[in-house]
Amino acid sequence: MKKLIALVLALTLVLSASSAFALTIGFSQIGQESDWRTANTDNVCNAIEEQGWTLVYSDGQQKQENQVQALRSFITQGVDYILFTGVVTTGWDEVLKEVNEAEIPLILLDRIPSCVDDIEYAAAFGGDFVEEGKRMVRWLANYLEKEGRGEEEINIVMLEGTTGADAQVGRSEGILAELENHPNMTLVESQTGNFTRAEGQQVMETFLNSIDDIDVLLSQNDDMALGAIEAIKAAGLKPGEDIIIIGCDSVKAAFEAIIAGEMNCTVECTPLYADFLIPTIEGLEAGETYGRDIIHPEEYCYDAEGGIPYTEDGEALSIKAADVIDERVY
Ligand code: AHR
């Protein structure tokens, strides 16, 4: 009898620790190109598993065809929800319509496909990539002003993310739009570094070999900036001093580079979607609906000293990286 009571108690504990719903969630992830992506994968997958739900995870390895195959396989398996972020923006119409026809609730994460207006989805959470690009240039302009270099002719090189990715398209758009407001800043060269450290380093090497006077590197993610720092050091220059380096994502390694004086700023793009995702799935299970708005998380900007404006109204000020690095979870 005692054994039976102990067994019932243990079972009750296990059941109350896991979610009331038994769900199977298919997650089509892009790949593992950056620290951001690793943090995103861990955050989302761990949260699903902590709920006691079954996760069917697919790493697309940066290939659209792999992601299309994964989505079709989720349909065949009859998963309860599909989480999706696409390596590029275009080319998803057909497969996402198949998801809709199968009546599997689709949750869009991170990079939003260009066919978004033509498909059904249960909820969407993504980065405000255009705004992130604008923040990079606003921070730069205000920093140069503070340094007494506001009127100087400034030569900029840019490392772009994976060509055609929502994050690349949006950040490029934001950067170019904001540069229009600063005729003293010239974008002298721009190339893709595919959001990876290795390619960021290689492309920066070619920039340094072909361009004499680089004042600023705008890197569409931190990983490429970190690779570029190695190229700049190898060329005998001081990153963060001889070349101002601005990244995007706000990964811990970028904070370390800022504190070491080798990088100047990182504009935040959070990979931590679990706190949105889990309550949303629970809400959907309870019959709630979330409309068609794409939710953008609140994000900040980090640098060596803090106090530099980066929003259009000039009210939000950058945060000193050293003050918050210990709280950083990615
Ligand atoms: O889509 C978000 C972007 O993808 C991040 O900025 C980048 O690091 C990642 O690979």
pLDDT for 8 equals 44
CB 85, CB 124: distance < 8 Å: no
Instruction: Enumerate residues 6+ apart whose C-beta is below 8 A from 313.
Output: none
Q: Are 170 and 221 in contact (CB under 8 A)?
A: no
Q: pLDDT, tens digit, for every residue of 203-231?
A: 999 999 999 999 999 999 999 999 999 99
Q: Name the pTM for this structure.
A: 0.94
CATH number of the domain encompassing residue 148: 3.40.50.2300
- Domain shared by 83 and 202, yes or no: no
Same domain, 118 and 159: no
Ligand 1 centroid – CA 221 distance (Å):
7
pLDDT at 102 over 70: yes
255-293 residue pLDDT tens: 999 999 999 999 999 999 999 999 999 999 999 999 999
Which amino acid appears at position 232 of this protein?
Answer: I
Domain hosting residue 177, numbered range = 129-269+300-327
Higher pLDDT, 5 or 314: 314
Answer yes or no: do 188 and 309 share one domain.
yes
How many distinct structural domains can be found in the chain? 2
Question: What confidence tens digit (pLDDT) does each residue in 24-62 have?
Answer: 999 999 999 999 999 999 999 999 999 999 999 999 999
In angstroms, rounded to a whole number, what is the distance separating the alpha carbons of residues 68 and 58? 11
3-state secondary structure 132-164: HHHHHHHHHHHHHHHCCCCCCCEEEEEEECCCC
pLDDT value at position 15? Answer: 44
Q: CA-CA-CA-CA torsion for 330, 47, 95, 295, nearest 10 degrees?
A: -70
179 and 321 part of one domain: yes
Choosing from 83, 110, 175 the residue with most ligand 1 atoms within 8 A of its CB, the one to mutate for a pocket test is: 110
Using the mean position of ligand 1's atoms as its centre, give its distance from the Cα of residue 12 in Å.
41
For the chain, count helices (H), then strands (E). 11, 13
Indicate the pairing of strand 185-192 with strand 244-249.
unpaired
Whether residues 85 and 145 share a domain: the answer is: no
Mean pLDDT of the chain: 95
Asked if residue 136 and residue 114 are part of one domain, the reply reads: no
Same-domain check for residues 65 and 109 = yes
At residue 19 the predicted structure's pLDDT band, cuts being 50, 70 and 90, is: low
Ligand 1 centroid – CA 54 distance (Å): 26
Q: Is 201 in the pocket of ligand 1 (CB under 6 A)?
A: no
Residue 21: the pLDDT is 81
Instruction: Specify the pairing of strand 81-84 against strand 54-59.
Output: unpaired
Q: Are residues 253 and 233 in the same domain?
A: yes
Atom of ligand 1 nearest to the CA of 195: 10
The response to whether residue 111 sits with its C-beta less than 6 Å from ligand 1 reads yes
- What is the spatial distance between Cα 103 and Cα 284, in angstroms, rounded to a whole number? 14
125 lines ligand 1 (CB under 6 A): no
Q: Is 257 found in the same domain as 160?
A: yes
Q: Is the pLDDT of residue 178 over 60?
A: yes
DSSP 3-state of 61:
coil
- The distance from CA 120 to its chain's CA centroid, rounded to whole angstroms, is 23
37 lines ligand 1 (CB under 6 A): yes
Is 121 in the same domain as 159?
Answer: no
- Specify whether 175 is located in the same domain as 311: yes
What's the token pair of residue 189? 């060269």
140 CA → ligand 1 middle, Å: 21
Residues 91 and 42 in one domain: yes
Centre of ligand 1 to C-alpha 89, Å, is: 13
